[in-house]
Amino acid sequence: MMGVRFYFIVLIFGMPGLLMAQSSSNYIDSLKHVIENTDDNDKIAMSYYHLSEHYQKINLDTAFSYAIKMDFYAQKSNSQYIKYKNYFTLGNIYSDYGNHVYGIDNFLKALNVLESKESSNSRIFENKKMEYITILNNMGISYFRKGDYDKAKTCLKQSLKLINNTSDQDSILILKPDKVKLLNNIGTVYMAHKEWDMAMEYLFNALELADEHYLALPSIYNNIGICYFEKNINDKTFHYYTLAKECAEKHGDDYFCVSIYNNIARYYLRKNNLLKAEEFLVKSKGLEKKIKRPYSRSLNTQFFAKLNYKKGNFQKAFDLYEQYKLINDSLVNLESSTKVAQIEKEYELEKEKQAFLLSQEKLKEAQKRKVLVNIIISIVLLSAFLILLLFYSLQKTKMKKVTLERSHFQLKNEKLEQDLVFKNKELATNVMYLVRKNELLNNISDRLLFLKTDLKKSNQDPLQRIIYEVQDSIDNDIWKEFELRFKEVHEDFYQKLIEQFPDLTQNEKKLCAFLRLNMSTKDISTITFQSPHSIRIARTRLRKKLNLTYSDQNLVEFLEGI
């Protein structure tokens, strides 16, 4: 169903006062002060929890880093509340990263903690019902994004049932906005199943409860409009799309306005009102340049192609369709890159844990250094003496083992050769890691340059030195390393490519290699130090040389078949 986007709403529970406090730099400093000046394991764990919670909507990588540190202390804690918060936080962060398997796994662990005998006796869990509602909703969203709509529906309906069973009037009033969001979410699941009537039943229930100030209103109106569009009821479609547009514009939600404008343009295309369709496509394109969402740009380009086709501008329609295909190719590459990133995150988790443990040990050593300096000197001297004795003993043992080692020499050489093959292939993966590093360093450098202009002149020079240090850390020769390791992993690729397409230039061969690994335009740009626009032009030329100009075949899939 091209052109339709359903809108899910994540439930967020918390006291407004806390959210306001979290926005204060003093609050962040106070949490860091607790971490640096206490040995209480539980206080440190909760401080990392609040830091991670604060950064989840600001910088997910920073939130992830603090969550890892919280996990380290939570595993050593006897507090069921801390364990619950740890699993709940990790579940949210993994889900935000798109790793829904890990996200759901941590949500289930959080539910197990809530259902444990220890938590039942704990006074800390005074509002366990609210915790259940939150987890079940977030699990439902994760299942939905994972594509498991039945489990998503089950979780969301269980959460809604808990809200409906609430009898306390104050709680009913507090939970009213969350009930609206849940009803919209359940309607969205039914939309994914194309059960439009069932979806509208839940959506209209949500609409009945919502008031004009609810931020969920644009989503509800839009989803109802989509249902009517799919049922081919045009007057109702236009009515609810218009309400969604007015609400989104009132709230200043540019992300939502782009999608609404695309949906309205799609409606006008169906009605053959090309003038109005073009009006909303122009609005969508203008906002898309600001928010830069590939999916919205893909829809906008596709609808512009259809518009020009209906207007008889066939050449322009064809050009726009080519752009649309390129954007879709980049979305496919982005999805592949996201899967790779998820695997890398698993590796980074363990790596960052080890780094954190090491930093903790170094911190303790620094605090005790003055007291233990004499002991360390004694240990060093004793260690040196023992090393000399050990060295002398090893030399004697080594002479005795020479004969035995010669007999195993050939076997070891064979094993070393196998290890060398493995390490060469492993290096190819490391080059991809360096690409991520360069991309991160470039991004940091760009952000610092942007912030520099807002600082006082006295603060600009120190910041510029930091920018130079970041830029000096960028590895400019990674593409050479990549090319070398690629030939070792894919030995026959270049040979087969040259045999089938002997006219390819050296740069085009390299581009083929990058695409063979499902690398995104952004990654290729990082390796080759060219702009993403240049890479997209190069891809178009490459399709032409590979005789794919008039083919619907994906460029990456074509190269994988060579």
What pLDDT, on the 0 to 100 scale, is given for residue 343?
64
- Percent of all residues in the chain with a pLDDT value above 90, rounded to a whole number: 24
Question: What is the distance between the alpha carbons of residues 344 and 433, in angstroms, rounded to a whole number?
Answer: 8
Average pLDDT, the chain: 81
Question: What is the distance between the alpha carbons of residues 289 and 74, in angstroms, rounded to a whole number?
Answer: 43
Residue 167's SS3 state is coil
Q: How confident is the model at residue 372 (pLDDT cuts 50, 70, 90)?
A: confident
Instruction: Please count the other Cβ atoms lying within 10 Å of the Cβ belonging to residue 85.
Output: 24
Question: What is the distance between the alpha carbons of residues 562 and 557, in angstroms, rounded to a whole number?
Answer: 9
What pLDDT, on the 0 to 100 scale, is given for residue 145?
85
What pLDDT, on the 0 to 100 scale, is given for residue 462?
84
Contact call for residues 326 and 520 (beta carbons, < 8 A): no
What pLDDT, on the 0 to 100 scale, is given for residue 360?
67
What pLDDT, on the 0 to 100 scale, is given for residue 172?
72
What pLDDT, on the 0 to 100 scale, is given for residue 174?
73
Contact call for residues 167 and 129 (beta carbons, < 8 A): no
What pLDDT, on the 0 to 100 scale, is given for residue 64?
86
Instruction: Please count the other Cβ atoms lying within 10 Å of the Cβ belonging to residue 388.
Output: 10
Question: What is the distance between the alpha carbons of residues 369 and 376, in angstroms, rounded to a whole number?
Answer: 9
What pLDDT, on the 0 to 100 scale, is given for residue 326?
87
Contact call for residues 232 and 253 (beta carbons, < 8 A): no
- Position 513, amino acid: A
With 60 as the cut, is the pLDDT of residue 124 above it?
A: no
More confident residue, 125 or 368: 368
- Percent of all residues in the chain with a pLDDT value above 70, rounded to a whole number: 83
Q: How would you label 55-70 residue by residue, b for 16+ Cβ within 10 Å and e otherwise?
A: bbeeebeebbbbbbbb
What pLDDT, on the 0 to 100 scale, is given for residue 16?
32
More confident residue, 18 or 377: 377
Tens of pLDDT, residues 430-486: 666 777 777 787 888 888 888 887 777 778 888 888 888 876 766 556 667 677 777
Q: How would you label 27-47 residue by residue, b for 16+ Cβ within 10 Å and e otherwise?
A: bbeebeebbeeeeebbbbbbb
What pLDDT, on the 0 to 100 scale, is given for residue 3?
43
Residue whose C-alpha is closest to residue 9's, from 184, 268, 202, 237: 184
Contact call for residues 136 and 153 (beta carbons, < 8 A): no
Question: What is the distance between the alpha carbons of residues 55 and 89, in angstroms, rounded to a whole number?
Answer: 11
Tens of pLDDT, residues 83-94: 999 999 999 988
Quote the tokens at residue 248: 């989104």
CA triple 153-91-98, angle to 5 deg: 75
Tens of pLDDT, residues 303-333: 888 989 999 998 998 988 888 888 777 766 6
Average pLDDT over residues 262-278: 92
What pLDDT, on the 0 to 100 scale, is given for residue 382?
87
Q: How confident is the model at residue 388 (pLDDT cuts 50, 70, 90)?
A: confident
Residue 46 CB contacts under 8 Å (≥ 6 apart), including other chains: 82, 85
Q: How confident is the model at residue 6 (pLDDT cuts 50, 70, 90)?
A: very low
Average pLDDT over residues 503-528: 85
Question: What is the distance between the alpha carbons of residues 202 and 419, in angstroms, rounded to a whole number?
Answer: 59
Query: In order of start, what are the domains of the chain with their CATH numbers?
Result: 490-560 (1.10.10)
Residue 150's SS3 state is helix
Contact call for residues 224 and 200 (beta carbons, < 8 A): yes
What pLDDT, on the 0 to 100 scale, is given for residue 449?
83
With 50 as the cut, is the pLDDT of residue 12 above it?
A: no
What pLDDT, on the 0 to 100 scale, is given for residue 108?
93
With 90 as the cut, is the pLDDT of residue 537 above it?
A: yes
